[in-house]
Amino acid sequence: MPDFADEPTSELERKVKALAWACIIETLTFVLLQILWLGVHSVIGVQLLGSIHGMTFLAFAAMTYGVHKPMGWDLRYVIIVVVLGPIGAVMVYERIRREGVSPEAIAASRPRAGAVRPVAATRPDGSPGAGAPGGAPTRSDRPTHRLPGA
C-alpha cells in the first residue's frame, strides 16, 4: 500500500532509492578526488571536490544509518560500511541492488493506526491548550527564539 495516493512506492523504498544514488555519487566523487590529487595535482580542484566528497560522504553515512533498522541491517554493518568509505558505499549499493526492499520491511516501516499523537487539550498547568475547544495558542505555545533586530 502506498504512503500517498499518487505515489506507488513506500517511504522506505524512496529512501533506499536515494541511498543507492548517494552510494554512486559518494564513490564517484572519491574516484575523481583521487584523480585530481594523485594524477593532476590540482590543489584548487582537490579543495573544491574534497568538500563536495565530504558532504556526500556525510549524507551517505546518515542515510545508511537512517534506513538500517527498517532494512534489517545490523549496526555493525553500518559501522563497517561507513569506515570503509567508498568501498562501503559499493557494498551498500550492491546489497540494495541484490536484496531490494522486502515487503516485510515495507510493512514494518509503516506507521501504525493511532501512532500520531493529538494536540494536548490541556497544558501541564491545567489551562486549556491549543487542542481544546476555545483554547487559542498563548505566548507559551509560540517559539521562544527571536530574530535579530526584532
Q: What is the pTM of this model?
A: 0.69
Q: Where are the domains of the chain?
A: 11-109
Residue type, 45: G
Contacts 24+ apart (CB under 8 A), 38-47: none
CA dihedral for 115, 116, 120, 121, sign (positive or negative): negative
pLDDT (tens, 9 = 90+) of the chain, 150 residues, equals: 555 667 778 889 999 999 999 999 999 999 999 999 999 999 999 999 999 999 999 999 999 999 999 999 999 999 999 999 999 999 999 999 999 988 888 887 776 655 555 555 566 676 665 555 555 555 555 555 566 665
| Side-chain half-sphere CA neighbours of 121 within 13 A | 2
